[in-house]
Amino acid sequence: MTQTPTNSVERLSAPISRLMFSHYSQLDPEWGFEIGTERSMCGLVCVKSIIDHYNNKSGFDIPHISTLLDAVKAADDDKPNGISHAVEVELLKAQGLVAWRRNWDAPSSDSSWLINNEHYSDEQANALDTQQLEELAFDTIHDRELLSINDALSGENPVITSMKGGFGGNTRDHQVVIVGREFTDDGETFIIMDPEHKPGSTLHAEPIERFFEYFNNRAIFVKQ
């Protein structure tokens, strides 16, 4: 595991390699999605990729995507525009992972509200509170987001992020998974698993500047 610098400023630019992470495509016919719904399944496929990533490392059983989709329908969250972050957190939590959602545009992220309304455990609430406390070292949303994303990657944990329409080939809001950060001669990049890419695709490097142009300030963090 990469050792995380203790200084907050250093943590903004700490060199991070990519996780061993597989590409999953929402367009893969093997998922068995109903025809015409594939484009709204980016969030579910991101969740599936993360569950499989951790379960493969731990030797746990791998849930079929139909099991996850049934849970989404049971939560009455099977919407044409995709699955809510709250339900994605529940899917990850049901697999024994600690997950929490962030919206840096919200006036506040009150963990007590999430405990009462989204059934957050003490572990989830503590993870959120600790993350927000660490971010107070910075004044800008951009630096706070970058710090938390970097810290997650340094801990070998992927991050689901929501992107505005126009990122990649999508024309509406979309979700991807950040699985690494690398520094090249051309600048800094995030390593992205984009489920909208066709089956058989590989992870790709996205310049950090362009990523933040399309990032809509919402993310899901997860850890074992």
Q: What CATH number does residue 180 fall under?
A: 3.90.70.10
Does 2 map to a domain?
A: no
Does 205 map to a domain?
A: yes
Return phi, psi of residue 182, to 5°.
Answer: -135, 150
**How far is the CA of 12 from the CAs of 8, 9, 52, 103, in angstroms?**
7, 5, 28, 19
pTM of the model: 0.91
Does 7 map to a domain?
A: no
Per-residue pLDDT of 47-79, as tens digits, reads 999 999 998 877 777 888 888 988 888 876 555
Query: Which residue type sits at 45?
Result: V
- Length of the chain, please? 224
The range of the structural domain enclosing residue 151 comes to 14-223
Does 9 map to a domain?
A: no
Per-residue pLDDT of 101-153, as tens digits, reads 999 998 777 899 999 999 999 999 999 999 999 999 999 999 999 999 999 99
Does 202 map to a domain?
A: yes
